[in-house]
Amino acid sequence: MRPNVLYFTIVFSGSALTTAATFWVAHRNDWLVYPRSDRWNRAPVAKFGGVSILLTFLVAVIVFGASWPLRKLGLLTVAMGLIGLVDDIFELRPSWKFLSQFVVAAVAAWSGIVYSLFHNSVLNYLLTLLWILGITNALNLLDNMDGLAAGVSVITASALVFVGHGASPMATGLIAMAASLLGFLVFNFHPAKIFIGDTGSLGVGFFLACCAAPQAGHRDSLFPILCVPVLVLFLPAFDMLLVSITRTLKGRAISAGAKDHTSHRLVMLGLASGTQF
């Protein structure tokens, strides 16, 4: 077997086993999401699936990741995931949640993850913060149907490998993330047995945003600098924009749960009748 295939298989298997263990522990301790009007599940579903994703990902990066930048990004990804874990348990105020996200994003930008679009470094740092925070929360909002956030993230991670990270050390992290997500998806396809939660959606969204930013900055022409990350992460970005506008116009909080996402609208149009919400 090629090294990458063997690596992917090991991480995938580890993620599936870790997710199964998380599912068992969640049911033993009644860590379950029960049905309610603003959720799509019709039966109790286990919480904290994101813990299994990020735990498997971090172990893979530490054991197999040869570069310090990748390990550093892995630690920052887990830090963002911990913010989501605290929110999953205690339901943080939106302002505290955002402030914590800002701190992690600022550390990432300070450590060298920069979206290089302008000749002015201050503008580049501001754009990087906006990009990281935007994509992180976009994926968080996209977690609104079985398998959606994790499935889109697998596609995004794979696309980032092929559009330029294939020969870089960061590819090891992207492969680890894709494999960890696929192992989790075994239990997250409809009807989901376990949810990714803010722990997973914030951590995964942050990691993908950070991987896309330097990839865009290494291009020489304006088109790929602007479009490569946006096209790869189009769905979560579009959904966040749609939900933000519609909820603001209705006088509702953007962070409030509801069945008004792009995926819900497509289901109501009959384009995904096999998935329920």
In a domain, residue 273? The reply is: no
In sign, the C-alpha dihedral spanning 74, 79, 84, 86 is positive
pLDDT at 166: 53
pLDDT of residue 147: 87
pLDDT at 237: 64
Look at residue 13 and tell me if it is in a domain.
yes
What does the alpha-carbon distance between residue 184 and residue 25 come to, in Å, rounded to a whole number? 15
267 located within any domain: no
**Could you tell me if residue 248 is inside a domain?**
no
16 occurs within a structural domain: yes
How many domains does the structure of the chain reveal? 1
Distances, alpha carbon 270 to alpha carbons 228, 253, 267, in Å = 31, 28, 5
Q: Which pTM does this prediction carry?
A: 0.83
Tens of pLDDT along the chain (277 residues)? 455 889 999 999 999 999 999 999 999 999 999 987 766 678 999 999 999 999 999 999 999 877 899 999 999 999 999 999 999 999 999 999 999 999 999 999 999 998 887 889 999 999 999 999 988 988 887 787 788 889 989 988 988 887 765 557 788 999 999 999 999 999 999 899 999 999 999 999 999 999 888 654 444 444 444 455 555 566 666 666 666 667 666 666 655 555 544 544 444 444 454 443 3
How many Å apart are CA 245 and CA 207, to the nearest integer? Answer: 26
Domain annotation covers residue 188 = yes
In a domain, 252, yes or no: no
Alpha helices in 38-120 (DSSP H): 49-64, 68-90, 94-110
Specify if 255 maps to a domain. Answer: no
pLDDT score, position 4 = 83
Domain range spanning residue 122? 3-232
